[in-house]
Structure 1
């Protein structure tokens, strides 16, 4: 039973970091108004936490491999909360960006270590479910941000709104310190400790995970702005819709995890989700082109589908890498995803400003399509680590 409490604590910690790592897009209108900057400039500011996270994921993963998960998460979460507090009080966009980037660096500890905890406490037949539950943290965190940050930003300013995720991160650090126990580790063998990167399989899994991050970041970053600017919704109403959709996205991650456990495959469901994400982005673009309600329906579909694959990619990565490389492999996988998360908001903001939404959405649709083509659906642990214990089957 304790492992489920540990999983719940890990989800809580991850969700609290996601409120600012991926939820600051809901403050874009307030940032633009307060700082008198363009959409591209505001998108660049909200990407700075991901920049900090990007630079430290692998290091945190290596620390978790060596020192354990609990101390890594507590240290990083405490730092993130403190630095977000600093970010709410500093003057100037440069110092704001620096503080947010350092907060993101602290939050990277959770991304690298909490997945490793799940892999250690749950068996192969439960990992899809457990990791799917763990991956609900992001949509739940983004949903919380969608509900709370727009009204806080509107009434008190976007800097004051940062105090909410700051406090949540500090509270989560305390919960982790009290509840989380590092999982037992198996006896070392040559197969388990040898590098899993001698073949291209894991590199392909990382690439697919990164490509599937494209529609996720476009949808999560620009959904509220699109509904307000193009569909003439009120910001609070748009935030409420997105929050509800995030709950559906969280449920989808759990369902997909159970699916992967039952079919004995993480990678084949991941490929099918990539196809669905491509379709959703194309329909969103078409709905925008013809100025139809279809755009809102497709936007909702994109928000749900684009987050469904994350647990599959993390589970496949950890199982293929093995217990003595899981922290570093998960850090590298998340690094690829967050390279995309860093580049996508300002890049697609530039495309939207230079052209229009439907053009940007069609360009984005190429990313999940490429991921579907590249996915190594037939990969097994034996392909990566001959003699490794766990097996990840691409097909029955």
Structure 2
């Protein structure tokens, strides 16, 4: 019975993540329609996405602290509603400023849901199954993004992008009532239950900062995130503008990339457990080396090369550049103990989202000024440098709490 409950709770966490990600990743699939109607540059549109991640980054650490102190059911419900309401308002926004503000408000919910999910997985599953469970939960992120990529361009062409956004808001609201209403915390001992007295944030941060391998991972996280956000924000624009692919087909290709990412999130966890158990850093180095290869291939791809080639490269890109999150969350959270899992994941997201915030603007500016070749080359360079730094093994520190 206990295991059936664990998998049921995991299914609810996945459902909530799928709904959340359908809103979080709508910017890329709808980019051609929104850029055209709002009459903005790619760099300005990148700034809209950056506003989303700025607020999410600011919310990440406080949400992690809250996840360690209050019932996950209420935080899950609040997260999803915090995405649904701004999306509904976004469907009526008429100016770039309004779109930017509402995009930022959408980041409130998205900045908190990973902490709820990570804590839930760590509580419901024993150590020998956590990597698999975390990988499965993280597939919800990419499945939601894939659904958005496949469905939204066609809906936007048929009904307009505003109606498409409103439909996403409705889906997220339904998920809030369903997963938020049915989810329950795992039965835990007093040492791990929400509300227990824990070390202060300053004490925990001090432990983190004295852990040099941990600090190295935090410093690399924004650059790893850059590789992911470049794909999700600009791949559809890259396909429609440089590769001359129709918008609907471009959305489907992005959907394939995101499905490959969902597979990668489980596969890289299994690979790390089987072959890199003593050196997670080298597994991440392999991920980033393959990401650099895929980004370089996109940079070197001739214009109008056809959807087959770019689709195959995109699958490799998605499998690698967006497949590392579950593994990293498990390593980070377990290094500080279950009782502080939410805080640890919040700190990781807080730092990693610097790349999500600055990445769209940097990539968009390069694409506007020098072209997509230089933009993808920047991703390849960053990923290759990350691979070189990560190749040195990063030992797992003992828990701080």
Q: 2:338 aligns with which of 323, 332, 337?
A: 323
Query: Who is 2:126 aligned against?
Result: 123
Alpha-carbon offset, residue 342 of structure 1: 1.6
C-alpha distance after superposition, 1:340-389 (max 9, x if no partner)? 1121112111101111211111111222223223336341233x64xx7x
Alpha-carbon offset, residue 64 of structure 1: 0.7
Query: Who is 1:225 aligned against?
Result: 237
Alpha-carbon offset, residue 63 of structure 1: 0.6
Alpha-carbon offset, residue 56 of structure 1: 0.6
Query: Who is 1:393 aligned against?
Result: none
C-alpha distance after superposition, 1:267-308 (max 9, x if no partner)? 332221111111111222122489687555323321222111
Query: Who is 1:74 aligned against?
Result: 77
Query: Structure 1 residues 260 and 179 mapped into 2: Cα distance closer, same or farther (>3 Å)?
Result: farther
Structure 2, gaps ≥5 residues long: 193-197
* 1:354-373 superposed matches below 5 A: 354-373=369-388
* 1:375-390 superposed matches below 5 A: 375=390, 377-382=393-398, 385=400
Residues 205 and 313 in structure 1, CA contact (< 8 A), matched pair in contact too: no
CA–CA distance in structure 1, aligned partners of residues 46 and 83 of structure 2:
20
Residues 240 and 250 in structure 2, CA contact (< 8 A), matched pair in contact too: yes
Alpha-carbon offset, residue 185 of structure 1: 4.1
* 1:232-381 superposed matches below 5 A: 232-263=244-275, 264-265=277-278, 266-288=280-302, 295-375=310-390, 377-381=393-397
Alpha-carbon offset, residue 249 of structure 1: 2.0
CA–CA distance in structure 2, aligned partners of residues 122 and 377 of structure 1:
27
Q: 2:5 aligns with which of 2, 5, 22?
A: 2
Residues 185 and 323 in structure 1, CA contact (< 8 A), matched pair in contact too: no
CA–CA distance in structure 2, aligned partners of residues 210 and 105 of structure 1:
19
Alpha-carbon offset, residue 59 of structure 1: 0.8
Residues 80 and 103 in structure 1, CA contact (< 8 A), matched pair in contact too: yes
C-alpha distance after superposition, 1:184-227 (max 9, x if no partner)? 445549xx956241322322222333322122111222211111
CA–CA distance in structure 1, aligned partners of residues 389 and 120 of structure 2:
29
Query: Who is 2:195 aligned against?
Result: none
C-alpha distance after superposition, 1:310-331 (max 9, x if no partner)? 1111111111121222111101
Of 279-288 and 310-319, the range deviating more from structure 2: 279-288
Q: 1:13 aligns with which of 16, 26, 32?
A: 16
CA–CA distance in structure 1, aligned partners of residues 134 and 81 of structure 2:
24
Query: Who is 2:183 aligned against?
Result: 180
Query: Scaled by the length of structure 1, what TM-score is found?
Result: 0.90
Query: Who is 2:228 aligned against?
Result: 216
Q: 2:102 aligns with which of 99, 103, 108?
A: 99
C-alpha distance after superposition, 1:150-197 (max 9, x if no partner)? 1222233222221122112211211223332113445549xx956241
CA–CA distance in structure 1, aligned partners of residues 343 and 131 of structure 2:
20
Residues 244 and 304 in structure 2, CA contact (< 8 A), matched pair in contact too: no
Residues 10 and 114 in structure 1, CA contact (< 8 A), matched pair in contact too: yes
Query: Who is 1:152 aligned against?
Result: 155
Query: Scaled by the length of structure 2, what TM-score is found?
Result: 0.88
